[in-house]
């Protein structure tokens, strides 16, 4: 029977403070549906997350900005105003009412931004890399269009301390909203990743140069956020060997091994990897296995989740073999609100429509039917 072959995904798992009933996790998915201009999560988002909640299941929110100046993507929600906290409260309650659990993913976009999104402030990064904003493919969603990123500048040491405080404050707001924890977004070429990888970090101070220095911002953010929530409510998402969004490193094997081993000392809820066979939201190396998990599993003793190109069968294999504790699905959750049920029952999965990933209304968002409704239609 199909169900029995998928059994390993449907065993319980303790993750930080949560007791999960299964290991099918909803990956963070930017969907651009917060209410503008103040980036407030509203009822449409409540419907979408509630549809995807399952009893004992775990949802990580879409990337959520920690401050006005951290923004870089029109429609992404925030956690820097009271109104945003209220909006999230309603969503978290709806998910919890279905027995679900939720962490907020905290986001600073760094150089992947535009002055139209930051309230006019020049985007910031580890160092100045004109090749980034001159590249025609590094587009951001701004009011009315897609645009190349604005020119950015390097952060001063004093400003870095301020950004760490913004993360801390956003974690406090996440706790106020009822989230059970926070995931720090350190992947996909956003601010923390820009500090980690030396293609974007050419600093010569304590935040640049050797790997220990490039990891400093991530370390400081984890420490600040853990001081608010407790380390077991904090998680980190990294993209080992990730090249999407203009990223590169001279020795990614050494860098990400160091990061995983270093994070092991914090007592985090989990470490979340993105497999490099997926770049952003596109599978670029379908033939590749779960290479990041294989490299880092021996170095991180806590709970390990990975996303990136998993299908139900490969997820079962990764959990059964002990390679992963849980698997996060992105695109399958876009188009299958009842993904957990479909995987458990071996039902077919509906394909996601890329054209509506980042549009601003209900079409292609909260209107994907559950399996029973789809076959009845
Ligand atoms: C529409 C869309 C939005 C995404 N937004 C985010 C995000 O906000 N934060 C993040 O860390 N990853 C984001 N990702 C990456 C996914 O979390 C995931 O790593 C990727 O889709 C690979 O998993 P999949 O093969 O199951 O889709 C996004 C992907 C998609 C398709």
Query: Does residue 30's CB lie within 6 angstroms of at least one atom of ligand 1?
Result: yes
Per-residue pLDDT reduced to its tens digit, 317-363: 999 999 999 999 999 999 999 999 999 999 999 999 999 999 999 99
Q: What is the pLDDT of residue 353?
A: 97
Q: Is the pLDDT of residue 216 over 90?
A: yes
User: Which residue's alpha carbon is nearest to atom 22 within ligand 1?
Assistant: 308
Q: CB-based contacts of 230: which residues, under 8 Å, 6+ apart?
A: none
Q: What is the mean pLDDT of residues 289-305?
A: 97
Say how far apart CA 152 and CA 316 lie, in whole Å.
43
Give the model's confidence band at 377: pLDDT under 50 very low, under 70 low, under 90 confident, else very high.
Answer: confident
Cβ atoms of 258 and 215 within 8 Å: the answer is: yes
Instruction: List phi, psi (to 5°) of 217.
Output: -60, -50
> Is the distance from the beta carbon of residue 237 to the nearest atom of ligand 1 less than 6 Å?
yes
End-to-end CA gap in the chain: 27
Sign of CA dihedral 109, 154, 200, 171: negative
The verdict on the CB of residue 366 being under 6 Å from ligand 1 is: no
29 Cβ inside 6 Å of ligand 1: yes
More confident residue, 105 or 280: 105
Rounded to the nearest 10 degrees, how much is the dihedral formed by the CA atoms of 275, 281, 283, 285?
-50
Of 132, 167, 190, 270, the active-site residue reads: 190
pLDDT given at position 70 = 98
Q: How far apart are CA 160 and CA 343, in angstroms?
A: 43
The domain tally of the chain equals 1
Task: Give the Å distances, CA to CA, from 27 to 200, 308, 333.
Answer: 26, 9, 8
* pLDDT at residue 1 is higher than 80: no
User: Quick one: which of 115, 112, 121 has its CA closest to 143?
Assistant: 115
Section 183-188 average pLDDT: 98
How large is the average pLDDT for residues 204-223?
A: 98
For atom 11 of ligand 1, the residue with the nearest CA is: 28
Work out the widest C-alpha separation in the chain, in whole angstroms.
62
The response to whether residue 281 sits with its C-beta less than 6 Å from ligand 1 reads: yes
Give the list of residues 6+ apart from residue 73 with CB closer than 8 angstroms, or none.
30, 32, 63, 109, 117, 140, 141, 358
- Phi/psi of residue 278, each to 5°? -115, 130
Ligand 1 centroid distance, CA of 29 (Å):
5
76 CA closest ligand 1 atom index: 8
Angle between helices 157-177 and 216-229 (to 10 degrees): 30
- Mutate which of 58, 281, 342 for ligand 1? The one with the most ligand atoms within 8 Å of its CB, which is 281
357 lines ligand 1 (CB under 6 A): yes
Let me know: does 348 contact 332? Beta carbons within 8 Å: no
Q: Which amino acid residue places its CA nearest to atom 23 of ligand 1? A: 308
Q: What is the CATH number of the domain that holds 61?
A: 3.20.20.70
**pLDDT score, position 6:** 86
| % of the chain residues with pLDDT over 70 | 99
Give tens-digit pLDDT for 272-286: 999 999 998 899 999
Task: Report how far residue 172's alpha carbon sits from residue 167's, in angstroms, rounded to the nearest whole number.
Answer: 9
Residue 4 binned pLDDT confidence (cut-offs 50, 70, 90): low
How many angstroms does the Cα of residue 356 sit away from the middle of ligand 1?
Answer: 14
CA distance 350 to 364: 12
Q: List the residue whose alpha carbon is closest to atom 4 of ligand 1.
A: 29
Cβ of 329 closer than 6 Å to ligand 1, yes or no, is yes
Closest CA to 196 of 150, 252, 120: 252
Give nearest CA residue, ligand 1 atom 28. Answer: 29
Distance CA 304, CA 260 (A): 10
Q: Is 308 in the pocket of ligand 1 (CB under 6 A)?
A: yes
What's the mean pLDDT when you consider all of the chain? 96
191 Cα to the center of ligand 1, angstroms: 17
Q: How far is CA 362 from CA 42, 78, 366, 367, in A?
A: 12, 19, 5, 6
190 catalytic, yes or no? yes
DSSP string, 76-113: --BSSSHHHHHHHHHHHHHHHHTT-EEEEEEE--TTS-
Question: Whole domain around residue 158: which residue ranges?
Answer: 4-376
SS3 call for 228: helix
* Cα gap 357→59, rounded to integer Å: 18
Least confident of 224-228, 280-284, 298-302, 340-344: 280-284
Residue 334 Cα to ligand 1 midpoint, Å, equals 10
> What percent of the chain is modeled with pLDDT above 90?
95
- The pTM assigned to this predicted structure is 0.98
24 lines ligand 1 (CB under 6 A): no
């Amino acid at each position: 029977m199909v169900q029995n072959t998928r059994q390993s995904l449907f065993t319980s798992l303790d993750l930080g403070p949560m007791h999960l009933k299964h290991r099918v996790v909803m990956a963070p998915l930017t969907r651009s549906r917060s209410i503008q201009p103040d980036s407030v999560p509203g009822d449409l988002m409540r419907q979408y997350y509630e549809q995807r909640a399952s009893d004992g299941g775990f949802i990580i929110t879409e990337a959520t900005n920690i401050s006005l100046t951290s923004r870089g993507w029109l429609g992404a929600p925030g956690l820097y105003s009271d109104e945003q906290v209220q909006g999230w409260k309603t969503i978290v309650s709806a998910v919890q009412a279905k027995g679900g659990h939720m962490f907020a993913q905290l986001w600073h976009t760094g150089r992947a931004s535009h002055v139209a999104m930051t309230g006019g402030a020049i985007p910031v990064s580890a160092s100045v890399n004109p090749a980034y904003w001159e590249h025609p493919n590094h587009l951001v969603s701004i009011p009315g269009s897609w645009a190349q990123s604005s020119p950015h500048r390097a952060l001063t040491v004093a400003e870095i301390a301020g950004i760490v405080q913004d993360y801390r404050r956003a974690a406090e707001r996440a706790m106020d909203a009822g989230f059970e924890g926070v995931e720090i977004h350190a992947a996909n070429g956003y601010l923390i990743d820009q500090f980690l990888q030396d293609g974007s970090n050419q600093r010569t101070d304590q935040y640049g140069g050797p790997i220990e220095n490039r990891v400093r911002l991530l370390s400081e953010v984890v420490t600040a956020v853990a001081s608010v929530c407790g380390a077991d409510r904090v998680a980190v998402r990294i993209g080992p060997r990730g090249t999407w969004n203009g990223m590169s490193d001279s020795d990614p094997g050494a860098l990400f091994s160091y990061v995983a081993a270093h994070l092991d000392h914090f007592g985090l809820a989990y470490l979340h990897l993105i497999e490099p066979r997926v770049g952003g939201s596109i599978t670029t190396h379908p033939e590749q296995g779960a290479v990041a998990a294989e490299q880092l599993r021996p170095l991180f003793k806590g709970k390990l989740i990975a996303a990136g190109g998993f299908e139900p069968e490969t997820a079962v294999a990764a959990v059964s073999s002990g390679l992963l504790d849980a698997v996060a699905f992105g695109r399958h959750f876009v188009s299958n609100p009842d993904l957990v049920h479909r995987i458990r029952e071996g039902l077919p999965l509906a394909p996601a429509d890329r054209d509506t990933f980042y549009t601003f209304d209900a079409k292609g968002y909260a209107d994907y039917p559950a399996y029973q409704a789809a076959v009845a239609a």
